[in-house]
C-alpha cells in the first residue's frame, strides 16, 4: 500500500484503471453463473416476475426434483466413467506421441499433421462416426463415446504436450543417456515426472470438453439409462412448458464437478500452459 502512494500520479491512475477494468471483466464473467444459481432456487412465476432479483421463496427442492427427473445419479456415473477412461487413454497416447514427435522423430511434418485436427469441426465427424460405429456394432454404447472423445481431443492435447516437452532442455535426455538410460527409461522415469503440469493441463481441458459435450452424446447414445449427464439435463427442457428453475438446478449440478476439478488443478494448468508457451 505504501508503494502505491509513493508512485507518480500517472502510474496511480493507470493502476486504478487496470484494476477497475479487471473487476468489471470478473463481474461480467461470473454473473451468468450467479444468475443460474439464483434462478435454480425459483419457480416459473418468480422467474417471470423477478428475473434478476433474489428468490421470494427459496425452492431448494428444485435440486432434488432435477436430480430425480433427469436420473442424474446414473447419468453422473456414465459421464464420470466415460470421461475417466477417455482421459487415461488420451494421457497415454498424448504423452508417448509427443515424446516421439519432439525427442525421437523430430518431424515438423508429423507435428503439422496432428495439428490439422484442430481445423476439423466436430460436426464433420458426426456422420462418419455413426457409420463406423454401426459397422462395428458399437451403436448406443458408452465405449463408442470413449473412442470419440479420445479422438476429438488428441490434436489439441498433442499441441499442448508438444509445446511443454519442447520447453524441457534436451541436455536432460543427453545426461541420462550418458548415465546408461535407454529411451524408455528416460521417458518414464525422467521426462514423464517433469511433464506432470503438462499432463494436468491436458487432462483438465479434455475433461471439460468431454463432460460438457451434448452433441455427441445425443447422436451416439439413444438408451435413457446410458445417457451422459449433459444429455440427461437437456431432457428437463419440456416441449411445451419448461420449469426453468429445475433446468437451472440441473445446470448447477452439471457444472459443479467441472468447477471442483479446475479449482483442484488450476496451478498445474497455469504452469502447463505457460511452460508450453515458451517454445510451443
High-pLDDT (> 70) share of the chain, %: 90
Query: What pLDDT does 210 receive?
Result: 92
The pLDDT of 188-196, averaged and rounded, is 85
Residue 279 pLDDT more than 70? no
Q: Provide the grid cell at 194.
A: 517433469
CA atoms of 235 and 128, how far apart (whole Å) = 26
Where is mean pLDDT largest: 50-54, 120-124, 226-230, 255-259? 226-230
Residue with cell 475417466: 84
Q: Does domain 72-238+253-279 have CATH number 1.10.3720.10?
A: yes
CA atoms of 49 and 37, how far apart (whole Å) = 17
CA atoms of 67 and 250, how far apart (whole Å) = 7
Residue 77 pLDDT more than 90? yes
The answer to whether residues 170 and 126 touch, using CB atoms and an 8 Å cutoff, is: no
CA atoms of 134 and 127, how far apart (whole Å) = 11
Q: What is the pLDDT of residues 147-162, one digit of tens each?
A: 999 999 998 888 888 8
pTM of the model: 0.81
Residue 174: count other Cβ atoms within 10 Å of its Cβ.
11
The pLDDT of 97-122, averaged and rounded, is 81
Comparing CA positions, the residue from 220, 203, 217, 201 lying closest to residue 254 is 217
Q: What is the pLDDT of residues 222-278, one digit of tens each?
A: 888 899 999 999 888 876 567 888 889 999 999 888 888 888 877 777 766 666 555
Q: Provide the grid cell at 202.
A: 491436458
Amino acid at each position: 500500500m505504501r508503494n502505491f502512494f509513493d508512485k507518480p500520479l500517472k502510474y496511480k491512475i493507470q493502476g486504478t484503471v487496470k484494476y477497475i477494468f479487471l473487476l468489471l471483466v470478473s463481474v461480467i464473467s461470473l454473473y451468468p453463473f450467479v444468475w443460474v444459481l439464483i434462478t435454480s432456487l425459483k419457480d416459473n412465476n418468480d422467474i417471470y416476475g423477478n428475473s434478476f432479483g433474489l428468490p421470494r421463496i427459496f425452492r431448494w427442492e428444485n435440486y432434488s426434483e432435477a436430480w430425480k427427473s433427469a436420473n442424474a445419479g446414473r447419468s453422473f456415473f456414465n459421464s464420470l466413467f466415460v470421461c475417466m477412461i477417455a482421459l487415461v487413454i488420451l494421457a497415454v497416447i498424448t504423452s508417448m506421441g509427443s515424446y516421439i514427435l519432439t525427442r525421437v522423430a523430430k518431424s515438423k511434418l508429423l507435428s503439422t499433421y496432428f495439428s490439422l485436427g484442430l481445423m476439423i469441426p466436430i460436426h464433420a465427424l458426426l456422420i462418419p462416426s455413426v457409420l463406423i460405429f454401426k459397422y462395428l456394432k458399437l451403436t448406443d454404447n458408452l465405449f463408442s463415446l470413449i473412442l470419440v472423445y479420445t479422438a476429438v481431443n488428441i490434436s489439441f492435447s498433442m499441441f499442448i504436450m508438444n509445446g511443454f516437452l519442447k520447453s524441457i532442455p534436451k541436455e536432460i535426455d543427453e545426461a541420462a543417456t550418458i548415465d546408461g538410460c535407454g529411451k524408455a527409461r528416460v521417458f518414464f522415469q525422467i521426462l514423464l515426472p517433469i511433464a506432470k503440469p503438462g499432463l494436468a493441463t491436458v487432462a483438465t481441458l479434455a475433461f471439460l470438453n468431454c463432460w460438457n459435450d451434448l452433441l455427441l452424446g445425443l447422436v451416439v447414445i439413444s438408451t435413457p439409462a446410458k445417457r451422459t449427464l449433459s444429455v440427461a439435463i437437456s431432457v428437463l427442457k419440456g416441449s411445451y412448458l419448461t420449469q426453468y428453475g429445475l433446468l437451472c438446478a440441473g445446470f448447477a449440478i452439471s457444472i459443479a464437478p467441472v468447477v471442483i476439478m479446475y479449482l483442484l488443478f488450476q496451478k498445474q494448468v497455469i504452469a502447463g500452459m505457460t511452460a508450453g508457451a515458451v517454445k510451443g
